[in-house]
Amino acid sequence: MHCVGETYVRAIHKVGGTPIILPPVMVEEDWPAILTCIDGLLLSGGEDIDPVYYGQEPEAWLGGVDEERDNAEQGLVALAVEYEVPILGICRGHQVLNVALGGTLYQDIAAHIPNALEHAYIPGHPMNHHSHSVTIDPEAALATILGGTVFNVNSAHHQTVKELGSGLKAVAYASDGVIEALEMPDHSFCLSVQWHPEAMVPTATEMWPLFKAFVDAARELSVPF
């Protein structure tokens, strides 16, 4: 099956967008055609990214990878950045954005970051369970969109951003130093978060503005293909 979590679809639809699911089988000749059919690119959560894309050897704690999806998303991101297509990255998508622009990852937080918080999914907890807080740079677009600088968020990841990709700026952190949000200041709308705001939308309103801002930016798009 080629599928995406229902919460992503409903979050986009809730704020007036029309969700389209892209199967992760696209190769380079497909990418321009895809970008003529969409007004924004949401990069969803999922498996680990193959470390070959950021110049590392696999480590013992690396989870499952999907070479076909990795290749498709890396190419789509690069082209979307070039043509100013609005981009919103979530969890794996946050990491995909960074890697596609030349950044690197820690393959496992617990193995590389001393005294780290528990960022991985906790079995038995719902996905909207608040795991820790994040602090956002007050000058960041994300702070303006969400209307604040400190939020309690959920968490379901074991990897995280290490070195930043080209043009990206870290704009939010957890208390242990894990980078929780990225922005590209020179892009019309390009940001990513490490938590799962789509899973928070059904029960709380604080993350709705993030999806609304993304959909609003998509309405302004004109791709020259």
pLDDT in tens, 144-160: 999 999 999 999 999 99
Please determine, looking at this structure, whether the domain spanning 6-219 carries the CATH number 3.40.630.10. no
Domain boundaries, the chain: 6-219
Which positions are catalytic? 91, 196, 198
pTM here?
0.95
Is residue 94's pLDDT more than 60? Answer: yes
Answer yes or no: is pLDDT of 218 > 60.
yes
Question: CB neighbours (10 Å) of residue 224?
Answer: 6
Q: Provide the Cα torsion 30, 85, 65, 192; round to 10°.
A: 180
Residue 125 CB partners (closer than 8 Å, separation 6+)? none
